[in-house]
Structures are given as C-alpha cells and as structure tokens.
C-alpha cells in the first residue's frame, strides 16, 4: 500500500507523492499490477466522484518508457452502506491498452481523455442498490428471529453510539465492526457471569450462550437483520 497525499492534507506533504509515482513505475516495469483508487476520496454514495490525475500520469510515464501497459477498470459496489449483512459485487472490465487511452500529443488532453474514458466505463459498472427485500428460509426462520432479538440490545446500543461518533464521515462500517468484534466476547462473558450468579444450570447456560453466535449467523444468512437501517 502506497499513500497518496492531497492538497487538503497539507501542501508540505505533496512532495512525498513522488515516491508513490516512482514505486508504481518500478512495479509496472517488473510486470506487476498496481491498483489505483482513482477517485482519490471515499464517500458512501453509488455515484462516481471526479477522478484525480495520478492514474493518468502513471500511464503516461509508462507509455513514454515503452512499457506494455494495460488498464483494467474494476468496480466494487455495495447494495447498502448502513444495513447489516451486505452484498458486495466486484466487476472486471476488458483490459484496455494504455496507448489507446492516450491518443494525443499534449499531456493535458491525454489526461482528460484518459479520465473521461475510464469514467464512462466504470459508470456503467456501478451496481444499483437492490430494494430492501427481507429474504428468509422458512426452515430457519424461528432461529433467525431468535438471533435478531437476542442481539438487538447489544447491537442497537453500540450501533447508535458509533453512528453518532462517525456522523458525516465514511468510517461507520469499519468502526462498528471493530467495536462489535471487541464487545461481543465481553457481552457473552457478562451473560455467563449473570447466569451463574442466578444459579442457572450449567447445561442451560451452555445452550443459551451457544445459541447466540449460531442464531446470529443464521439471521445474517437469512437477511433477517438487514431490517436494521440507520
């Protein structure tokens, strides 16, 4: 992973982008693949954002050095940014010879043409979000419903806290995932202590605790929990 610095992150950091371009050229010259997030920004939207010039600049340098470079547009789409239990679609396009995307003698025109052509292709590959349809397997419906209600208290509390803390940012999913990953084992331990304190039989405690992860897995698989939207 090679970082790219934007003007908004400080003009004094822009010179460090030279390392990113040099590293990319060395990888391409060695016949390796360079993955570029060409929008240069992360937003929770299904619309493409204006492209930066970095990818076009790398392609221009590679063509000038006579490298046999192909550009493969690749889209990653989510059916939802807030619902639990997402569907992700990765779609690959036909590779395009870099020289075909850089037909002009002027660098500025080449960059504009490069971004325009890639934008057009990627725009046709963006996945339109599906309607919020709850799908379930009747065989596992009771276990799915149980999983939903067993986890509702923990999930709802953490979800609301993270939603407030990450509002107006794109970090909701990653922070929520991390918080649940840390809190869920503690939640089960607290339940274990509570059940032991009220002198519940060991067999009953084991069954209840085992039902939590099993029913949660079934609920997510059957999309019962996708009804929780922000």
> Do residues 212 and 186 lie in contact, with contact meaning Cβ atoms separated by under 8 Å?
no
Q: Token pair of 108, please? A: 């500025």
Does the pLDDT at position 131 exceed 70?
no
Domain ranges of the chain: 7-123, 138-227
Give residue 138's pLDDT: 62
Does the pLDDT at position 226 exceed 50?
no
Q: Token pair of 28, please? A: 């391409």
Averaged over 9-33, what is the pLDDT?
Answer: 85
Give residue 178's pLDDT: 93
Lowest-pLDDT choice from 76-85, 104-113, 176-185, 213-222: 76-85
Sign of CA dihedral 112, 113, 114, 120: positive
CB neighbourhood size of 176 (10 A): 21
Q: Could you tell me how many helices (H) and strands (E) the chain has, helices first?
A: 7, 4
Q: What is the pLDDT of residues 62-119, one digit of tens each?
A: 999 999 999 999 998 887 776 666 778 889 999 999 999 999 999 999 999 999 999 9
Give residue 39's pLDDT: 87
Averaged over 175-201, what is the pLDDT?
Answer: 92
Give residue 171's pLDDT: 81
Give residue 135's pLDDT: 52
> Do residues 129 and 80 lie in contact, with contact meaning Cβ atoms separated by under 8 Å?
yes
Averaged over 155-172, what is the pLDDT?
Answer: 87
């Amino acid at each position: 992973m090679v970082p790219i610095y934007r003007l908004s992150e400080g003009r004094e950091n822009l010179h460090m982008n030279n390392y990113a371009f040099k590293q990319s050229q060395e990888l391409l010259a060695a016949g390796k693949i360079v993955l570029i997030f060409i929008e240069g920004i992360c937003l929770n939207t299904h619309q493409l954002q204006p492209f930066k010039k970095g990818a076009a600049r790398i392609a221009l340098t590679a063509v000038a050095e006579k490298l046999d470079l192909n550009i493969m547009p690749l889209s990653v789409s989510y059916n939802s940014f807030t619902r639990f239990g997402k569907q992700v679609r990765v779609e690959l396009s036909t590779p395009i010879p870099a020289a075909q995307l850089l037909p002009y003698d002027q660098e500025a025109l080449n960059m504009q043409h490069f971004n325009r052509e890639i934008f057009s292709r990627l725009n046709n590959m963006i996945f339109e979000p599906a309607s919020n349809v709850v799908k379930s397997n009747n065989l596992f419906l009771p276990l799915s419903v149980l999983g939903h209600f067993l986890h509702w208290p923990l999930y709802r509390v953490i979800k609301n806290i993270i939603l407030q803390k990450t509002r107006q940012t794109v970090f909701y999913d990653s922070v929520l995932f991390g918080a649940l990953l840390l809190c869920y084992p503690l939640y089960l331990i607290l339940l274990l202590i509570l059940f032991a304190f009220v002198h519940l039989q060991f067999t009953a405690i084991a069954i209840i605790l085992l039902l939590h992860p099993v029913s949660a897995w079934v609920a997510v698989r059957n999309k019962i929990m996708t009804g929780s939207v922000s």
